[in-house]
Amino acid sequence: MPPLVKICGLTTPQAVDDAIRLGATHIGLVHYEPSQRHVDLKTAAELRKRAGSRVKVALLLVNASQQLTGDALGTVRPDIVQFHGSETPEWLAVVKRLVPAEIWKAVGIKDAGTLERMQKYRGIADRILFDAPAAALPGGTGTRFDWSLLKNHRHSMDWGIAGGLTPDNVAQAIAETGAPLVDVSSGVESAPGVKDVDKVAAFLKAVAAC
């Protein structure tokens, strides 16, 4: 079975409809003001409603305060909360107790030591998303990590990969890592925050062929 596909950073109803029509299994909405893909909570809630049950909807937060996390989850009611900052396992456990959503944790993978350090999320996060290490922004920069770090790794949690994936390299990334889920944002855009329907189609086609 081909991997699950999350198209992240959607900002318009058209982009939501396109991603679903073309076969995405998950979509992502970014609520993080420094991001060029940031959507306010009203817009995020509208996009979430538009998706309905056609696809799983992730809300991406980065080191959000307790207040903002509560407001965001209460307003948007996503299927998944994707924590993309330096959130602690303790904080994720609190959120997990309070909301009926899957908890995903993005982890910037630098070296084999990351695979040890991320064990602290075991039993708390429902999925680990391996991404390139954070730089000026914690994600969404189109930067790849060294996929060979995951080669032959025995995963103890559900997982996926993100970071610098494109229609041209996603098949190789899947072949090298065996990822059960791939997540893309900038690699299917014509400009930051603007999804390109042809690139989204090409990405989904490349994954479907795996």
Give me the residues that bind ligand LGQLAAA5 (CB under 6 A), please: 8-9, 28, 30, 32, 35, 37, 60, 62, 84, 131, 137-142, 162-165, 183-187
Other residues' Cβ atoms within 10 Å of the Cβ of residue 192: 14
Q: Shortest Cβ distance from residue 102 to ligand LGQLAAA5 (Å)?
A: 15
Least distance to ligand LGQLAAA5, CB of residue 137, Å: 5
Q: Write out the two tokens for 128.
A: 């680990």
Write down the least CB distance from residue 39 to ligand LGQLAAA5, Å.
11
Nearer to ligand LGQLAAA5, 95 or 104 (CB): 104
The answer to whether 130 and 109 are in contact (CB under 8 A) is yes
CA distances from residue 86 to 22, 59, 61, 91, 198 in whole angstroms, order as listed: 33, 16, 11, 10, 34
Residues pairing with 127 in the sheet: 104
Of 82 and 89, which CB lies nearer to ligand LGQLAAA5 in the complex structure?
82
Using Cβ positions, the residue closest to ligand LGQLAAA5 within the complex turns out to be: 140
73 or 132: CB nearest ligand LGQLAAA5: 132
Nearer to ligand LGQLAAA5, 39 or 73 (CB): 39
Tokens of 166: 């494109």
Among residues 124 and 130, whose Cβ is nearest to ligand LGQLAAA5? 130
Report, in Å, the least distance between residue 188 CB and ligand LGQLAAA5. 8
Cα 18 to Cα 200: distance, rounded to the nearest angstrom: 8
What one-letter code names the amino acid at 129? Answer: L
- The angle formed by the CA atoms of residues 83, 85 and 88, to the nearest 5 degrees, is 75
Smallest gap from residue 38 Cβ to ligand LGQLAAA5 (A): 7
Tokens of 35: 């991001």
